[in-house]
Amino acid sequence: MTATLDPPTSSPMKVLVTGGAGYVASVVIDQLVRAGHEIVVVDSLTSGQFSSVPPGLEFHRADVAEIADVLTPSAGFDAVLHFAGLIAAGESVQEPERYWLHNVAASIALLTAIRHAGVPRLVFSSSAAVYGDPMESPITEAAAANPTSPYGWTKLAIDVAMRHASAASGLGAVSLRYFNVAGAARRADGSWLGERHDPETHLIPLALDVALGRRASISLYGDDYGTPDGTCIRDYIHVEDLARAHLLALAHAKSGEHLIFNLGNGNGYSNREVIDTIRTVTGHAIPVVQSPRRPGDPAVLVASATKAAAELGWRPLKPDLRAIIRDAWDFARDRYSSPTLTR
């Protein structure tokens, strides 16, 4: 079935969200609900948190490989937001087969169901990991893709599959290549949405766990990179800013085209700088244990989001690293002081 795409509109849409119980997806869903869209969530709950799904939404506990049971021609979906997948670059080096199965094979099943159902829009949670160790900084969408981990290769493979699907069926597809996402967001009811990975692999929540006394130290992986202080440099983007880009991408999807946008602040912070900022925000010493490099970690990843600004009208509203960490810190303290929050 060929997808047909109406002109960009702010009218409510029926949107299927895969991996909707995850960190970024839950913030996107909150913004979609506020904007008046009808949301259906699919999540296996392997890593997602059911408490992150707003009460009252239609929810299916299922793997993306089974998506055709939900994404049927009669379901009437206007769009799919695809977040489901494994996300740890280091782990992917150790378990590549698992990443290709859960990320790529499942996404092919999703693309097949989308085509069969005639869904006109798809927005995909891609990654800056597709660029590997880039030759340029900040990185534009024209930079060569050369991933350094199986995780990055799986994201690139899905991007390529989406391009082919768009050309074949008229699908309006958008890949949003995230740089490092952090921070937390408040729902309308005042509750927090933030990072709750298990196990956690990201620097900011791990360091905040040290500040909370939940772990003794933070591991710093590699101090011999070709950067000013020897540690990796990353571009951090507030999760609320990232979420807004998804709503804009839905409105700007174009029939038969696959659009790619980098999403970041355009500023890089080394791992040491991030830890020092966390010390400042929390007022806690964060002991560091120096560890060897992790396989698959590029030295520098900093985004150019010029294309997103020009074509989507998107700009970060919360670019300050301290503000990003402050929100993450407020969420972390609330999470471990609330007796009612599912952890």
Active site (catalytic) residues: 151
**What whole-number distance in Å separates Cα of residue 296 and Cα of residue 148?**
5
Closest CA to 152 of 170, 171, 172, 177: 177
Tell me the CA distances in angstroms from 122 to 29, 144, 165, 180, 331, one per residue in order.
15, 23, 11, 22, 30
Q: Which amino acid is at 80?
A: V
Under a CB-based contact definition with an 8 Å cutoff, are residues 172 and 256 in contact?
A: yes
